[in-house]
Structures are given as structure tokens and as C-alpha cells.
Amino acid sequence: MSALLRRTLPLAGLLALLALPTPATAIPAFARRYKVSCALCHNPAPTLTEFGAQFAGNGFRMASGEEPVDTIGTDDNTLALLKDIPLAIRLDLYAQEYANGRATTDFQTPYGVKLLSGGALSKSISYYFYTFLLERGDVGGIEDAFLYFNDIGGAPLDVAVGQFQVSDPLFKRELRLEFEDYAVYRARLGDVPVDLTYDRGIMAMADVAGFTLTGEVLNGTGLAGADAARHYDTDANKSVFLHATRDLAPALRLGAFGYYGRTDGNGTRNATQMLGGDGTVALGPLELNGQYIYRTDDRPTFTPGEGKVTMQGGFAELIVRPGGAAGWYGFALYNRVTADRPVLDVRLGGSPDVAKHETLSGGVGHLVRRNVRVSGELTYDFVSEDGRLTLGMFAAF
């Protein structure tokens, strides 16, 4: 028996004990408000059903234009105040086994504690935010935080203003089932603070002639803090993101996007350009998601005359939902990102010193309750030739 397997068995046994069914005394905020099961919007949580995506697109309400529910009487027809501030909590716990020359066990319990809130302020205005009370051992702070304007002027046009993930119109990182991330969304080149995760700005979404069109105007600085003058964006440049997607058949969706932005640093200006395609094929219990991105930066380390650097990569993801009362599901994720030279960074807290990132993950999960699930995931890193076993628990209430 290998050292990794010997040390994995106690973790698996502990997970099995923790996975025994226990009563769930609460459900998340939106389900509490409407008194419905989490299964209406999630399968399994946190991934969205078709209705769940529509619910979010309606500004977190059952139907577009619905008046806020559970409000107090104020005798002011221009004011809707919820009786209670809707709050929900998401708790993620992991135990990991690393096999990088020797087996090492790490209890990441908790890995993340997230406080979420969202609600309607009128029949067309709503809000949403969440903050990490704890993320990877530190106070994580606010990530998503925006006001959402639904069906502006009665047209199929929605606008979000605030802080959000640039890649949300493609695939939502926060809703993935894997512990392993969508690496290409997190990838940066050199010292340029541009990726497809969080940024601040405006996002507009419209349905036009069978297409869903999304445009974003962004700072292009990520979640960098304010400077001494309380400025988030310290140059005159803004980044632009455009995405178009369409359902070509009941089981097929295809999309394409472009990104352009400029960043100043050390007296030098870098231009970032990205082009990409995304798609989903859904056949019964199987869902296949794919993403490809081609990116160029002409001065990624803000060095005059350094020359253009090209990055390309993406991911392929398979999700299996057998259905029925058993509550089992499976998943697999392949990541590959390469750059012309070692200025690539796809790691949390890492340094831009690699030219390639390639991983393969796969695993299974089980719904213990509608809002409690457990999972096991194996990941292999082809570059470092390391393996990782992740046993996880997720609860939302």
C-alpha cells in the first residue's frame, strides 16, 4: 500500500463520519424568503439550474418586475424596506493530502466562511454582496458587491454597477463544483494586474435578436486597494470587455468575447488584448463546458522594448448529474495555460515565474442534504509532477 493511500484512509474515514445525515435547520436567504427548496435554483449547490439563472437575471426575484416581498409599511410609495436584512452563510471545509515527494496532510477547516446578502429595493432595483469572514486563514473581505438594475425602461436590458468577476458572462468561478480553479481566468502576465477575476466597473446585458450581449467597462486593476488619494484607478485608462452568446440548439450554446485594456507602470504603458470562445453542450445528465483564450501583452513587465508576450489556454469541464434521489454527481476539469516566456502567474499569492500550467482533476460528490454536500477530488499537476487529494464539505444556511 502506498504512503499516500495509507495516510488517505484516516481522512476518508473521517469524511464518511461527517457525511452521516443530520438535520438542516435553515436554508439560504432567497429560499427562506420564498419558502421554497434550494433545489429550485441549484443542482447541486452552488451550481445553478435554468430557473436559478433566470432568478438571478431577474434581480433575485421570481419574475421580472415583481414588487419586493416581505417589506414593512412605511406610507411612502417610493420606499421599500425589507422586514429583515436577508443573510446567508456558506461554509467550506477541506482536508488535503499532498504527494510532492512525501505525503503531507493539511486540515483546511475552515477554508472559507462567507457571509452573503441580497434583496430587492424596488421592482427593478436590487443588490447583492458577499464578504469572506475567513478565506484561507485570513480575513478575505468583500468580493462581489453591486447594485443591479433589471429591464431598464421596460427593455431587455440589465445593468450591474460595482464589483464583480469579469468572467461572469462566460462561466462563473464561484459556482464551480471543483476545488481546482479555472486557471485561465486567474492567469496574469508579468506585473500587469489584469485577469478575468474581480474588477470594478459597469456591466450591461441585453437580449438582441436571439443573442445575449454583455459589455463591461472596467478599471483594469483587479481588487487593488485605493492609493493615498483614495483612488482605485491611478491612470486614465479603462478596460473594455465584450461578449456575445447564443443557444444554437436546445443542447448547444456558443459564445465569443474580446478584451482590451492599457495599464501604466514605471513610466511605460502596456496594452492587453484577449480573444476567446466558450461553449456548453448538455445531453441529459452530461454537461460539457469549454473555454479558450488567446492573450497578448506588449510590455508585461513595463520594460521599454521588451517585446510582445503571448499567452493561450483554457479548460474543459465535464459534469455528470445522474439525477434521482441518490444525490450523487461527478466532475472532471482539465486546465492548460502557456506563455512565450516565464512571466505567467496562475497561482493564488504566487509569483510570475513559469511558462506553463497544466492540471487534471476529477472527483465525485454527494448531497447529504439539499444545502450540505461532500466531495472527493484528485488533482495531478503535469508541470510539477505533484498529486493532491482533496476531501471537502460544503454547507449553506
Phi and psi, residue 237, nearest 5°: -85, 145
312 vs 193: CA distance, rounded Å: 17
Model confidence pLDDT, tens digit, residues 35-61: 777 777 777 777 777 777 777 777 777
Whether the CB-CB separation of 319 and 331 falls below 8 Å is answered with: yes
What residues does 161 pair with on adjacent strands?
Answer: 147, 202
3-state secondary structure 203-234: EEEEEECCEEEEEEEECCCCCCCCCCCCCCCC
Model confidence pLDDT, tens digit, residues 126-148: 999 999 998 888 888 899 999 99
Phi and psi, residue 355, nearest 5°: -115, -5
Which pTM value belongs to this model?
0.87
Cell of 74: 412605511
Average pLDDT of the chain?
87
Q: In 3-state terms, what secondary structure has residue 107?
A: strand
Query: What pLDDT was estimated at residue 46?
Result: 79
